[in-house]
Amino acid sequence: MSEARVASPERVAEPEGRALRLGAIAVGIVIVVGLPFVASGYHTSQFSQVVIYAIALLGLNLLTGYNGQISLGHGAFFAIGGYATAILSVKLGVAYGPAVVIGGILCFAAGFAFGLPALRLGGLYLALATFALALATPQLLKFKAFDAWTGGVQGLLLSKPGAPLSLPLTRDQWLYFLCVFCAALLFWATVNLINSRIGRALIAIRDHPIAAETMGVDAALYKTTTFGVSAAYTGIAGGLSSLVVGFVSPDSFDLFLSLSLVVGIVVGGLASVWGVIVGALFIEFVPNYADSISDVLGENAKALPWAIYGVLLILLMYAAPSGAAGTAKILIGAIQRRRRSSTNVALDRKAASGDQTS
């Protein structure tokens, strides 16, 4: 009498797996909530930036990871969101909360508008066109005609909001929680989106556009809407960033920002919601890390951190081309396969010894 082989390792591992996952989530929540109380103001603002990047990467990942449209110019939407929030709160006296939201809505419109001509551009052409968008953004922001609103090359200063209801939080801590709150909402929305019919439609459009159309998916509508939504996410991130930094200027939104966002989603792993956290940590901290490595090389090596950063990027792509999430999936798959085969071996032995006794 041989037992059925274990086909789905999840069933065997299920109770422990679930406990592990809940445990991890609980630890995660403790860390996220407790962070600003143990870290200095400076570190807290750095982690706020990480959360902000995570939101922006979430948006870009929706577009590029799940829907296959490569954008090298998302820094432009980050800029629109940042400036919209700044102009609304500084020039028009709108409260910062609504200002960020309105910035997001404006970015949705901008993204949708850009998505329309983008429909005609395939992969590479779209990448280059968005690259040009990223380069044109600082110049547009400096345009004389907009000076009265944008502050021109001098930029705009924002006052950092303090905690409401006289909560005993410093400004850094309050902003951090604001960012985390927005991130949590957007993450939840994204996870639901991905797992819904819409998410499946997006992935279908990415992998088999013609088949998707044949099945009745309105590719054009989905693609432009995704562009809009992705821009909106990035715009919200930009708006939050302008609050955390307290200043916007055309120089704040250069080409390197757009490139960093792409680096972030690739390092984190395309089409992975949780990977964006790894990506965000990477683009916030690794340049500083490269800085400290090059310090060892002495005074003359002032610009070398970027060479080190470049080398790290290449090594990372070599070691983990599918990013953190992709590599994690591979590792977990390998572990589960090993477990499955060892469970099967155990069952076989049991069956064999059972045969003997029965």
Looking at residues 267 to 306 of the shown chain, list those that interact with other proteins (rule: CB under 8 A).
Answer: 267, 270, 291, 299-306
We find the least distance from the C-beta atom of residue 59 to other proteins, in angstroms, to be 16
* Shortest distance, position 323 Cβ to other proteins, whole Å: 8
Q: Would you count residue 9 as binding other proteins (CB under 8 A)?
A: no
Q: How far is the CB of 312 from other proteins (least distance, A)?
A: 8
- In angstroms, the CA 107 to CA 236 distance is 8
Q: What would the x/- binding string for other proteins be over residues 310 to 329, using CB under 8 A?
A: xxxxx--xx--xx-------
Q: Which of 269, 286, 284 is nearest to 327 (CA)?
A: 269
Distance CA 44, CA 36 (A): 5
Please tell me the distance from the alpha carbon of residue 174 to that of residue 347, in angstroms, as a whole number: 55
Q: Does residue 193 bind other proteins (CB under 8 A)?
A: no
Segment contacting other proteins by CB under 8 A, of 148-156, 162-170, 187-195, 340-348: 148-156
Q: Which of 183, 180, 160 is nearest to 233 (CA)?
A: 183
Residue 259 binding other proteins, by CB under 8 A:
yes
Q: Binding to other proteins by residue 142, rule CB under 8 A?
A: yes
Residue ranges in 72-131 that form contacts with other proteins under rule CB under 8 A: 117, 120-125, 127-129, 131
Q: At what angle do helices 255-268 and 323-357 cross, to 10 degrees?
A: 0
If the CB atoms of residues 227 and 340 are measured against other proteins, the closer one turns out to be: 227
**C-alpha span between 329 and 323 (Å, rounded):** 10
Q: Does 143 interact with other proteins (rule: CB under 8 A)?
A: yes
Cα–Cα distance, 287 to 312 (Å, whole number): 10
What kind and span of H or E run contains 156? strand 156-157
User: Where does this chain touch other proteins (CB under 8 A) — which range of 11-19, 38-46, 101-109, 273-281?
Assistant: 38-46
